[in-house]
Amino acid sequence: MGHGYINATGVFPQAEDVIDGTGKFIYDILKNTPARRCESKRKIYKQRGDSMERYSVVFSSSTGNTKLLADAIDEALPKENRDYFGEITPEVPESEMLYVGFWTDRGNADKTALEFLQRLKNKKVFLFGTAGFGGSEDYFKKILANAESTLDGSNTVVGEFMCQGKMPQAVRERYMRMKAQPNPPANLDMLIENFDRALSHPDAEDLERLKKTVLK
């Protein structure tokens, strides 16, 4: 199970983050900024519907949230221009334009996506992803910046999009067990509220906003 919440030993890294720097950063961001459902940015280099531009949509999606975004992108773009759609593979598509999707692990793109981004050369890249903690545009920007920093300088990031994604129920159960312990972290209630807000995402509004961002 992914999104950084459960590993093979049954530990919940995101839940444990409430007591380290990552958790404190999330806590401060969620506490001090207005709720924002998604972060999107489109840098205009070439229209996405350009009939001459070949593209591929590649993604890493552990729980299905990011695949929903990938499906929305695929619906928005002309199929005749598509070279590949699917999970990240060791092979980099030859397409000039790549839409690269990821899920968030400790404030960054997941390992599979990061390793793929590191292999890219001379590509136009549109980054898209989901994160369980979704109450802040600043947090989304930090994740996207971390992912973008992995890219070789020969690539050009032409657009970005992030939104909140639902988390496994086991995460909430973990929070509740932590809350029952002596001296639980002060931000647990906020994290539980965030979990509950995430349950409906990505929703239809998130997907429509992504399509509009892609087609700008």
The domain limits of the chain are 13-215
Question: Can you give the pLDDT at residue 17?
Answer: 41
Q: Which residues of the chain have pLDDT under 70?
A: 1-52
Question: Can you give the pLDDT at residue 9?
Answer: 35
How do beta strands 97-105 and 108-109 pair?
A: antiparallel
- List, in sequence order, every residue forming a beta bridge with 82; answer none if it has no partner: 55
The secondary structure of residue 63, as a DSSP letter, is S
Q: Token digits for 149?
A: 């920093």
Contacting residues for 91 by C-beta, under 8 A, at least 6 apart: none
Contacts made by residues 173-176, CB under 8 angstroms, sequence distance 24+: 174/12, 174/15, 175/15
Q: What is the pLDDT of residues 127-164, one digit of tens each?
A: 999 999 877 889 999 999 999 999 999 999 999 999 99
State the residue for tokens 């239809």.
204
Question: Can you give the pLDDT at residue 29?
Answer: 56
Question: Can you give the pLDDT at residue 153?
Answer: 97
Collapsing DSSP to helix, strand or coil, 118 comes out as helix
Question: Can you give the pLDDT at residue 30?
Answer: 54
Are the CB atoms for 88 and 112 separated by under 8 Å?
Answer: yes
* CATH topology classification for 13-215: Rossmann fold (3.40.50)
**CB neighbour burial string for 169-189, b if at least 16 within 10 angstroms, e if fewer:** eebbebbeebeeeeebbebbe
Amino acid at 201: H
- List, in sequence order, every residue forming a beta bridge with 156; answer none if it has no partner: 124
State the residue for tokens 């992803």.
129
Are the CB atoms for 108 and 60 separated by under 8 Å?
Answer: no
